[in-house]
Structure 1
């Protein structure tokens, strides 16, 4: 008896996991790679899914239960996902859940598609060689590249694939990568923090949905108030505990020799470091001004790694009224006058030892192989470079 050749169609119902054939037979006519790597996906919450194989792909179509819809879509809309022998699940292998009411007004959405920090593999031609690599389907899966094809493996719950470690891990220390919660693998919403100038940032997932970032400085540099700056980020909503901006690292020599100066009488001062200098700016209080300057004028002093305080390290005090017509008479002392050479940078040092500083008569500079260091004499004394000591009277500075 002649037998009529009928194509084999396999339909899978997600709720029963039963195989329904329209003829007696098996999966012999289907691509073995397709059957191994393309498995039916789960139904969305408050919905159902049906999946059907063809000779080249598996297509799964989801619809929502009565009274529910997909987010952003009208009532009765359907979504489809396709898995092929060349691109696996090109649009992901999970449906968004259904929300109550019309999906165009609902609030619950599925996580955005995974974002990879490096290359992901979706077909055999993309394999860089044999081994395990990131899968383009989901963060909790990896692809094994072999001579006869690529094979997808799902990590044990609740782990995700870390391509740097080449293993399934509880954490994924990548800012634009993924993190795990108790139930699922999600995409981190934390924006990448800046790396401080002359420093670096290291971020790790603490396993509870929180990204912990530590900033440290290179050798010879430091932060102004601490050796390590710390920030945390909630990966679910992307919010940072103290912002995702780290301060720049400051030259350690600058920090040691350049310290904020005192505010003038009847005024305030603000000082800020950058990578190469410390700048202090003084402002007078209301109805006070700097002598010889109009009201609301400011004065600035700068300290650098090469020149220390080139214009001195003290502000003149503020006088009452307009500084050009005010009654206050106090002005800062005139610049010091030296009888010999003064030192303002390392290249000016005649050798190791203590020498006159160019900043003030009551200071001296110590020249050393690793830099110059300023010391202030005890109160009421000044530096005498002939005697090489602080004294009540100086014959080398006035």
Structure 2
């Protein structure tokens, strides 16, 4: 019988099994036509007539037109020798052939399984017969017609000890797969092994040599492929080349690393496999934990090169604690709490290991007021590569119920102590970091975009009870790392020297709102945004205050208008406004970022402004003069594809 016919019969059996095991399946013949009248029992060949029931059993046959399915079951108190609950036999109306036998096994008196040997499951596309002796249960399995065990055996037995219930060689049977006919694989070459798989009607056989041997061609493995439809092997050959003993003269020379590199090599005859690791607290400069190199002993080729990266001290050391040149005076802050003269809360108490109780020293820095203008700053003395930060809350003595810690903060850095840049990564230009959840448990945040700095400033954004902070920076001296190993943040801009500037002190945020301030050109621009449920009395989405950095004067005042209760409550980010393209999200309220991913978005009020969402918080900033924000490219441009105005408007925001 041809392979295609057998495969078609296999599909029919699978279809019948799927139907017969579904109690809700309906059995109906295809609609009759003039050319194909419905089949009846009188039209069936003699070989496809219903089978007789086994003794002490019952048989039910279903005529599906193209297949006769007979299902037998034993009466109560009896069981099949196979221990299966039912037995099925299939007869093809097209070939007049019973596909898996034309008789049912006998039903015998049921024997309770008191011996511990549980029944076995027949192989897929096969049947099983079990017989008991005084000491053993022996189960024999065969594949249905047109199938063969995947290990090419025709009969497989499993034996169980009835005394202890142990199956000597396991109780599972291999699968019955389509008989490949002419696609039977070749024998494995001496000192080699072969494994075959059937994929998309193709038999793919792969041979590999045992350890100490290799193919003359130098290949690690050799494949042969046969088409099940034609029975033909590609390239006309199913045999594998011989495996020969590996050369005794070693062509591959062992590789070496620096003094902190440990290399172990294993020679399996055909390959030299070398594994390298770093020791003495060092790491590979490419951050890999293990480096593996493999060389072919036949031709001396290193598959992935024979170079080992250098082992270096990781740039994640405590910068502040390890630098004895950093003194207490190198810590500065926006303010320090001084209502309790007996206790010192100064900036230098922000060292990571500060504790309370010694000489009336507080266990951390606390500012004089709790608002968004507060910051703690450190002068690192040397240009340093900063890779991360560790924070803690303010430690207290036993019996003190104070519970001050910072839960959210941002980081700014500088090389001159005057011009600071907010830290950003690939997702947002001003990133907000999650802080602490108690006073003393350290929390570490590593930076995906490390930076070089002389000064680092931490700006608390959210806190528990009061702002309280201790911190440590992780990194190393910039001279020990390549400046090309880290991508510079995209929002850092180098400009020509600017005129001398004076300090413009930040205003208070609007009541029931938030405020962010940035330096733009020769101005300090502070943008105010109302919380959800509130709106400015001026009905503007964003209000701005501007201070001249050369004179220190605030244009049109230093106080935001009030945010008053409004009957229209913002329920999230907006899809359109009178100033934004309707297909793009814009920010109108302080809570709009709660449901948006990190990134820069247009404000709903004016295209000249944009809002950065970071971990659910919003940070509003203006574009440079004469530029507007484009949501498609997420940059300030001369014209915007997503804004109704091609030029920035100053009237919408007022001041």
Q: Which range, TM-score by smaller chain?
A: under 0.3
TM (norm. structure 2) is 0.18
Larger radius of gyration: 2
TM (norm. structure 1) is 0.26
